[in-house]
Each structure stands twice: as structure tokens, then as C-alpha cells.
Structure 1
Amino acid sequence: MKYSEISHFSHPKHKLRFEHNEFPFKCDGCKEIGIGSRYKCSICDYDLHTHCAIPSTTLFHPFYTKCTFQFMQIPPGNTLRYCNACEKDVNGFVYHCKSCGFDLHPCCAKLPMVLNDGEMKLYLHRKVSSPCHRCGRKGRSWSYRSNCKSYNLHVACVREMLVENWYNLYMGHGKGSSRKLEATIPSLQNTLYAAHNCRGSRGSKGKKVKKCCEIAGFAVQIVISAVLGDPTTLIAGVVGALMSRA
């Protein structure tokens, strides 16, 4: 449920208003980057993912059937903690299971189990047997896998790419940069082409593999928007792009 304006315990001075645009931001709750929908205090330049602004008190996840995750403003204890979904550090808001010690970033905890743009379905897996198209490794991070089982992408790798581009394109220009989403999404085209050994492909085979890589690139964009906290941000554009190439 979305509210146009809310009061939030983390920012009691002013109310936060719901807004949606394509400019990247750093969430002041979980300290992770985001795009699309957010709750914002324009006076203080304070932003929250929608998942951080309206969290669940308790959360259950199908990957951890014996766990009960509690929402916390700060990570428990004095030791460094990491998210069990993306394997990145936890520096702010978190869902924590006291009995198992597992932690999930709010946006990771709410990642859709299935992403569907009408052309391709991507399923979230706790572990996959095939290597990631970004890093080439299997790893322990959650992964999105296409229904054709041809494409795998670690949630951790998506976050890594976003952080790299965040510092290069956004933080380098100061908060409030005019750089839009298109400038922050890293390209995996070279990685995908290399994975399919298609740099030297010609004729119908080369065209087929090129089309295959293009679709995989769109799948990557959908995963990126989900990890950023708003899985609807890019889907409309992705569907349009796919239709234009049909």
C-alpha cells in the first residue's frame, strides 16, 4: 500500500512525501542505492526506499522457512554483518532473525520471487548450479535465473555493478546530480557476447546470438530495477524495446 505522505520514526522533524522519478538516490535508512519510487523530505534531502519507509514488523521468507525476521533500525551487535541475499555489508535498516542470525536488506527481503516483463520470466533462486553471467562463478548469493535457464545473475553482482557506477557517475557529481537512470545502468553486452562466444559469429547464427544477448541485456535491466527497490521502474521500457525488435 502506498501513501502520498507519511510520518517516519527515522525522520521525525518533517513528513515524507511519496514521489517517483528516474534519478538515483541513496536511501538514508538502509544506506543502499535506489531508483524510482521513494519517500522524500525535500527540506532535508532525506530519502527512503518504499520498503524502508513502510517496513513490516516481522517478515517470513520462503528461502528460510524456520526463520522469523524482525525489522531493526540498526544491525544487532558490534560485529560487521552482511546480507544473506546479496552478501554485502549491512549498514542500516535490516531484517534480522535472532534464532539463526541471518540478515536481509529490506529491498533484498522484498525481492519478487518471479520477475515477468511479458517476454521473459526470471525466477529468484537461493542457489543455482550454473555460473553467473557477470562474474562467471556460482557463489552463494541469491540469483535470478531465466525460465529458459540460459541466464543467471547474482543479486550480489548487480549490487556490485551499481555501487561501481554509483560512485563513478552519481557521487562524483554530488547528491542531486542530473544523471538519469540510463547513465547509471552498466552494460553487460560484452560479458554476454563473450559468454556465448559470439564476437566472431556471422550470418544467421550471429544474428540469433545477438538477439539472444539483447534479450539477456533486458533481463539484466529488470533485475537491476528490482534490486534498486522498484521492480516496476523499467518493465514498461523493456517491453517496448522487445516489441520494437520483434
Structure 2
Amino acid sequence: MGKIHPSHADHELELKSFEKPYTCDGCKEPGFGSRYRCELCNFDLHKDCMFASPTTHHDFFRNSTLKFLFQPPEYRSCEEGRRYCDACGKPIKGFVYHDEKKGWDLHPCCRNLPSKLRVDDVKFDLCEKVLSKCLWCNKKKREGTVSGVRGWTYVSKCKKHHFHVNCATEMALEGWDKGTYNEDYSLALQKVELPIQRHNRNQRSGNKFIRMVKVFFKTIAAILLGDPTITLTCLLVELVAK
């Protein structure tokens, strides 16, 4: 049975699942796997956009309440003339959780990012300031983010491992793009050498490191793409582990 959403009141949306990426018509961010969809209008919503709560909280913003909005509020103090997500650093184009007093913003899927994460035997914390380069993109500032905004980064307790939140999504979608025109998508992925593999090619601890990266990206990409059962992510992290 379908469900009505205020942003698409003319038709019911039904839960669907396809192994291909899509753009959510709510937050305008990438998604993969299950989504709420209107076939007549080619309209899709992340589950988190479909069932957004009126208000939410995040451990990163202590004592703060963020209110759900269908459109981002005006932001006159930004040179680009638009708001950005404090988690991933990407511009806000649609649905958003916003704190009026502090000016903080989160995409609906980004609000699910845990403030602490344990991967294998490595503990990670969400951080705002980045002192080292991301081990995926090899940069401090993530490309495609608003000028001067890096977004959140997961940093290990030992300070050796830094990962941009947004890199997990880009990594998954890059894998899809490389396999789009190949009949066997998993085979296409296996032929791709990822930067993280080149980075650790000659290190003795590479296998353990890659295993940790495998679980990390599987977890974060599933959250950001709106589907914890994402098949694409599983395929991709299997590639990373090889």
C-alpha cells in the first residue's frame, strides 16, 4: 500500500528497490537501493526524507534542536548565496534539518551519522577540523563542497586515519559509473584500482588497513545513500579488500 507525502500530494509513493543510483527529489542528494517512488512522475524519496521527523538532535551539536524544513532558509552572509550541510559540506538544495539559533544544517541522511564509530579494533570520532589529508581523496578539503567548508571527518583515536564523510558516497557512486556500460558490474569493479589500494600497496600492514577501510566505507556509504542494505556498497568494499 502506498503512502502520501506533502511534497508529492497528487500520487502515493510506494517502497521500491533497484540496484542503481538515483537523486532524491526531497533533499536532492544521491541515493541507492530502496526508496519511496512514484512511477508516474519518476519521483523518489530517501526513507529518511519520506519519514522526516519535525525536529531532531545530533550529538555533534550538543543542546541543539534542528527543525525539519522543505526548503533551506535564506543565507545572506555566504558569498555563494546558499547554505551547506555541516556534515558532508555539500550545498543544501532541498529538505534540511536547520537550527535557527546556531545556523547549523544537516541533510536528512547525514543526521544519522554516528558521533563515534568502532571499526575492527580502531575507534573513530567525528571531527570538524582536519589536520591531515583524507586517506581516500588525499586532500584536506573535499572537492565539490562550499568554499571554506570541509564538512565532518572521521578521525581515528590514534590520529593516523582520516576520512571525509562525503568521500564514502563519492567512492560508491564512482564505482557505479565505472561499471555502467559493463554487463557484469561486479567484474567491472574488480578491474578498478582504487587510490586507497595504491596508497598501501607496499605496506606490510596493508591487509589489516584495507579490511578496516572496507567496513568503514560500507557503514558510512550505507547511511549517506539512505539504504543500510545497499548491494553496491557491499560489492565496492569487497573490491577494496582485494
Superposition TM-score tier, normalisation by shorter sequence = 0.7 to 0.9
1:45 aligns with 2:46: no
Three-state SS of the structure 2 residue aligned to 1:219 is helix
In 2: Cα distance, 1:94 partner to 1:48 partner: 13
Structure 2 counterpart of 1:141, one-letter code: G
Match of residue 4, structure 2, among 4, 7, 11 = 7
In 2: Cα distance, 1:124 partner to 1:110 partner: 14
What is residue 103 of structure 1 aligned with on the other side?
105
Q: Decide whether the 8 Å contact of 2:66 with 2:98 is kept in 1.
A: yes
Q: Decide whether the 8 Å contact of 2:60 with 2:115 is kept in 1.
A: no
Q: CA deviation at 1:61?
A: 1.1
Three-state SS of the structure 2 residue aligned to 1:39 is strand
Name the count of aligned residue pairs: 226
Mapping 1:92-241, distance limit 5 Å: 92-113=94-115, 119=120, 123-127=124-128, 129-139=131-141, 140-145=150-155, 151-161=161-171, 190-196=194-200, 198-199=201-202, 205=204, 208-210=205-207, 212-234=209-231, 237=234
In 1: Cα distance, 2:58 partner to 2:140 partner: 22
Q: CA deviation at 1:75?
A: 0.7
5+ residue gaps, structure 2, are 76-80, 142-149
Q: TM-score w.r.t. structure 1 length?
A: 0.72
CA-based RMSD of the aligned residues comes to 4.0
C-alpha spacing 1:147/1:73, structure 2 compared with 1 (3 Å): same
In 1: Cα distance, 2:84 partner to 2:124 partner: 23
What is residue 78 of structure 2 aligned with on the other side?
none
Three-state SS of the structure 2 residue aligned to 1:19 is strand
Three-state SS of the structure 2 residue aligned to 1:40 is strand
In 2: Cα distance, 1:150 partner to 1:55 partner: 36
Q: CA deviation at 1:165?
A: 6.6
In 2: Cα distance, 1:86 partner to 1:124 partner: 15
5+ residue gaps, structure 1, are none
1:22 aligns with 2:19: yes
Q: CA deviation at 1:232?
A: 3.4
Q: Decide whether the 8 Å contact of 2:86 with 2:105 is kept in 1.
A: yes
Q: CA deviation at 1:224?
A: 1.6
Match of residue 54, structure 2, among 40, 52, 57 = 57
Q: CA deviation at 1:142?
A: 1.5
Three-state SS of the structure 2 residue aligned to 1:158 is helix
In 2: Cα distance, 1:229 partner to 1:58 partner: 19
Q: Decide whether the 8 Å contact of 1:28 with 1:48 is kept in 2.
A: yes
Q: Which has the higher helix share?
A: 1
Q: CA deviation at 1:148?
A: 7.4
